[in-house]
Amino acid sequence: MRITTWNVNGLRAALRKGFADVIEQIAPDILLIQEVRARPEQLPEPWAQPEGWHVCWHPAQRKGYSGTAVWSRRPLQVIERGMGEPDPEGRVLHVRVERTEVVSVYAPSGSSGPERQGVKDAWMDRFLPWARGIAAARKRILVGGDLNVAHTERDIFYATSNTGQSGFLPHERAWFGAVLDAGWCDLIRGHFPDVDGPYSWWSNRGRARELDRGWRIDYLLGNATARRACVAAQVHREQSLTVSDHAPVTIDLA
């Protein structure tokens, strides 16, 4: 089973820029999407219900903002939208596909200022116990998405100059470590233990994408059962150059 997560930076724009071609190349069985920024009825035909896919949407209440989705080649069942409470920004979508559960997650960004950083911090405080609560299940569970945190200096090209920036703040990095301690494995890092990156997001400034000077903020996390089944992982930087500022991230499960 192949699972891919991708922050598409607006699905309507991504469709115009080659989203369908990239997905055909990667060929995931399950696709977790973040930053959809559209309701299904706003998408061009036939993308509200794409052929060959079972689809679940979790759009934000605010139009053109945030939102998550899960696409699956096999029937899916919604377990939960949100984390046991209202989720007006459409940030957490938890579904079951046969014997595997997947969660598409889009964590808030705090880069626009203190107010949004406060929103992000509050969200992280809610996410940690919620994630701890589902990690211990014997079934395979995966959390995939844009968590807007680079965990270690190996996950960000300019570590020193970004120490005080949202996404690489000490308490955010400690939070990510606590998520791992709660029973989750960083499946990409597990397959790339001794490399810088592989980065999944790049600024649009200064040839960052071309020179591969980015951040690794898009993750696929697995509980112990999923970790044992993970046989391969990759970040598709080249395929997505013109579609989004984020690259798709993929794992293969035995």
Residue 124 has pLDDT above 90, yes or no: yes
Pair of tokens at residue 105: 């997650």
DSSP per-residue string spanning 99-115: TEEEEEEEPPP-TT-HH
Number of domains observed in the structure of the chain:
1
Q: Is the pLDDT of residue 239 over 90?
A: no
Give the range of the structural domain holding residue 167, as residue numbers without chain letter.
Answer: 2-253
65-117 pLDDT tens trace: 999 999 999 999 999 999 999 999 999 999 999 999 999 999 999 999 999 99
Distance CA 100, CA 77 (A): 11
Question: What's residue 160's pLDDT?
Answer: 97
Angstrom distances, CA of residue 108 to CA of 22, 90, 123, 199: 26, 10, 7, 19
Neighbouring residues of 61: CB distance < 8 A, sequence distance ≥ 6: 88, 89, 90
3-state DSSP helix/strand/coil % of the chain, to nearest 5: 30, 25, 45
Q: In CATH, what number is assigned to the domain containing residue 249?
A: 3.60.10.10
Q: Which of 106, 155, 199, 219 is catalytic?
A: 106
On the question of pLDDT at 137 being above 90, the answer is no
Looking at residue 240, its pLDDT comes to: 87
pLDDT of residue 237: 94
Q: Establish whether 106 is a catalytic residue.
A: yes
The single residue of 21, 65, 87, 146 carrying the catalytic annotation is 146
Average pLDDT value for residue range 211-217: 97
Average pLDDT over residues 143-150: 98
* Confidence grade of residue 130 (pLDDT, cut at 50, 70, 90): very high
Whether the ω angle into residue 40 lies within 30 degrees of 0, i.e. cis, is no
The pTM is what? 0.97
Per-residue pLDDT for 206 more than 90?
Answer: no
The predicted structure's pLDDT at residue 99 = 94
